[in-house]
C-alpha cells in the first residue's frame, strides 16, 4: 500500500494471521512490514514493534525513531548490543494488567487453600481435609508496585489478604503499608507470600536469593513462606531457590519465569511437589490491544504530544 504516513516494522512472535487480524483494526493508512519477510527492505520503517527481536533488525531498519516493546518488560530491548539512543515505549494496557492480577490472585489463593497438597492427595486417592488459614491472617508482600503490582495489590485486598508492598521510590497507597529500599528487611520480616513483579535491571538481577528468602516471616499460618514470581527469571537465583524449597526455608512457590526459558525438560523444578509452574504465561500480550496502543502513541508522537510509558533508560524500566 502506498502511504505518506511513516512505516512500521513488526517483529513479534505471533502468527501472521493474528497480526493481520489485528492490523485490520489498527494503524490504518500506514505501511506495515513484517521483519520475518527476510527480503523486505525495511529502510523506510520509522517505528518498530518488537519482542526479543532478531539481532539484525536494527541493521535492516537503520532509520527508526521509536521502538515499541511487545510487552511490559523491556529487558529484551535494553540488552540489544549497540542499541541506539531511541525512545522505547513499553506496553501498558488493561488487558495485560487484568490478566496478571488474575494470575497473582490465583496463585495466592492456590497456596492459601493448599492446592498443591490437594493435587498430591488426589493422585494418591487420599481423602483428608487440610487446615484452612484465613486470608486476613496472611500477608502478601509485593515487590514492584508499578502498573501490575498496584492492580494485583488492590485485587488481593478484595480477596481479604493483608497486602504490603516494596518499590524503589517511596509510595503512598491507601490501605497498603509500603516500603522503599531502606525498609526491605522490615518488609520481608512481615511477608508470608512474596510476589515478584519487578522488571529485570542491573539492580534487580539475582535479588531473590538465599539471604532474602531467609528474611521472610517464619511461623505464619501457611507453615512457611511462599515465593511467587512473574517478573523475570533473571531476578531469581535458582540454585538458592531449589535449596530453599528443599530445606523448608520456603514451603512453596509459583513460578512463571525462569533464568532459562523454555524451562529445560531436565530441570529439577518440574518434579517438585510444592510448586506450581506456568510457561511465562501469567499475562499474555493481546496483539490487537498492542497495535491499538502503538497507534495511539504514534499519533501522539506525530502531533508533538509526549508519548506515554516511555522507558527511563537510566534505571532500565
Cell numbers standing for residue 130 = 487440610
Measured at CB, which residue is nearest to ligand NDP? Answer: 146
Minimal distance in Å, beta carbon 283 to ligand NDP? Answer: 4
CA–CA dist 11, 17 (Å, integer): 14
Task: Tell me if 154 sits within 8 A of 147, measured CB to CB.
Answer: no
Minimal distance in Å, beta carbon 147 to ligand OXD? Answer: 11
113 catalytically annotated? no
Minimal distance in Å, beta carbon 257 to ligand NDP? Answer: 5
Residue 276 to residues 16, 140, 209, 301, Cα–Cα distance (Å): 32, 17, 19, 42
Positive or negative torsion for Cα 283, 286, 292, 297: positive
Q: Does 72 bind ligand OXD (CB under 6 A)?
A: yes
Q: Could you say which of 53, 73, 116, 149 contacts ligand OXD (CB under 6 A)? A: 73
* Phi/psi-derived region of residue 255, left when phi > 0, alpha when psi is between -120 and 50, beta in every other case: beta
Minimal distance in Å, beta carbon 309 to ligand OXD? Answer: 12
Using the contact rule CB under 6 A, the part of the chain among 6-14, 70-78, 129-137, 152-160 near ligand OXD is 70-78
280 catalytically annotated? yes
H or E, element range at 240: helix 238-247
Q: Does 149 bind ligand OXD (CB under 6 A)?
A: no
Closest by CA position to 271, among listed 297, 245, 234: 245
Say which residues have a Cβ less than 8 Å from residue 79's Cβ, sequence separation at least 6.
none
Q: What are the beta bridge partners of residue 176?
A: 173
Minimal distance in Å, beta carbon 72 to ligand OXD? Answer: 4
Binding site for ligand NDP (CB under 6 A): 71-73, 96, 100, 144-149, 167-169, 197-201, 203-204, 230-232, 256-257, 280, 282-283, 317
Please compute Rg for the chain using Cα positions. 21
Using the contact rule CB under 6 A, the part of the chain among 59-67, 68-76, 77-85, 183-191 near ligand OXD is 68-76
Task: Tell me if 263 sits within 8 A of 269, measured CB to CB.
Answer: yes
Binding mask 91-130 for ligand OXD (x = CB under 6 A): ----------------------------------------
Q: Which of 280, 292, 309, 313 is catalytic?
A: 280
Through-space distance between the first and last CA atoms of the chain, rounded to whole angstroms: 35
Cell numbers standing for residue 274 = 510444592
Sheet with 139-143, edge to edge strand ranges: 177-179, 162-166, 139-143, 193-196, 226-229, 252-255, 275-277
Q: Give CA angle at 2 (286, 8), nearest 5°.
A: 35
Q: Which of 150, 217, 232, 288 is catalytic?
A: 232
Q: Does 141 bind ligand OXD (CB under 6 A)?
A: no
Minimal distance in Å, beta carbon 158 to ligand NDP? Answer: 19
Using the contact rule CB under 6 A, the part of the chain among 67-75, 113-121, 201-209, 233-241 near ligand OXD is 67-75
7 vs 257, which CB is nearer to ligand NDP?
A: 257
Residues near ligand OXD, by CB under 6 A:
71-73, 285
* Catalytic residue list: 232, 280
Amino acid at each position: 500500500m502506498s502511504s505518506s504516513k511513516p512505516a512500521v516494522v513488526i517483529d513479534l512472535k505471533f502468527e501472521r494471521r493474528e497480526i493481520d487480524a489485528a492490523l485490520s483494526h489498527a494503524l490504518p493508512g500506514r505501511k506495515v512490514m513484517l521483519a520475518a519477510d527476510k527480503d523486505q527492505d525495511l529502510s523506510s520503517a520509522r517505528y518498530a514493534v518488537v519482542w526479543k527481536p532478531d539481532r539484525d533488525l536494527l541493521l535492516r531498519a537503520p532509520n527508526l525513531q521509536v521502538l515499541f516493546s511487545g510487552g511490559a518488560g523491556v529487558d529484551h530491548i535494553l540488552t540489544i548490543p549497540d542499541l541506539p539512543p531511541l525512545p522505547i515505549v513499553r506496553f501498558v494496557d488493561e488487558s495485560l494488567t487484568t490478566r496478571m492480577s488474575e494470575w497473582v490472585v490465583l496463585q495466592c489463593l492456590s497456596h492459601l487453600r493448599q492446592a498443591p497438597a490437594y493435587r498430591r492427595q488426589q493422585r494418591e486417592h487420599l481423602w483428608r481435609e487440610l487446615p484452612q488459614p484465613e486470608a486476613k491472617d496472611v500477608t502478601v508482600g509485593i515487590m514492584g508496585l508499578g502498573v501490575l503490582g498496584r492492580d494485583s495489590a488492590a485485587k488481593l485486598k478484595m480477596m481479604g489478604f493483608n497486602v504490603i508492598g516494596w518499590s524503589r521510590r517511596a509510595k503512598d497507597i491507601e490501605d497498603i503499608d509500603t516500603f522503599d529500599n531502606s525498609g526491605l528487611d522490615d518488609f520481608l520480616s512481615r511477608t508470608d507470600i512474596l510476589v515478584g513483579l519487578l522488571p529485570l535491571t542491573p539492580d534487580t538481577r539475582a535479588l531473590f536469593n538465599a539471604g532474602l528468602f531467609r528474611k521472610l516471616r517464619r511461623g505464619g499460618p501457611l507453615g512457611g513462606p511462599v515465593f511467587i514470581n512473574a517478573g523475570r527469571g533473571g531476578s531469581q537465583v535458582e540454585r538458592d531457590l531449589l535449596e530453599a524449597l528443599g530445606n523448608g526455608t520456603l514451603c512453596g512457590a509459583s513460578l512463571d519465569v525462569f533464568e532459562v526459558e523454555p524451562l529445560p525438560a531436565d530441570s529439577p523444578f518440574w518434579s517438585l511437589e510444592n510448586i506450581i509452574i506456568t510457561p511465562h504465561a501469567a499475562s499474555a500480550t493481546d496483539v490487537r490491544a498492542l497495535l491499538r496502543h502503538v497507534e495511539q502513541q504514534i499519533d501522539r508522537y506525530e502531533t508533538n504530544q509526549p508519548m506515554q510509558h516511555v522507558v527511563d533508560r537510566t534505571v532500565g524500566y
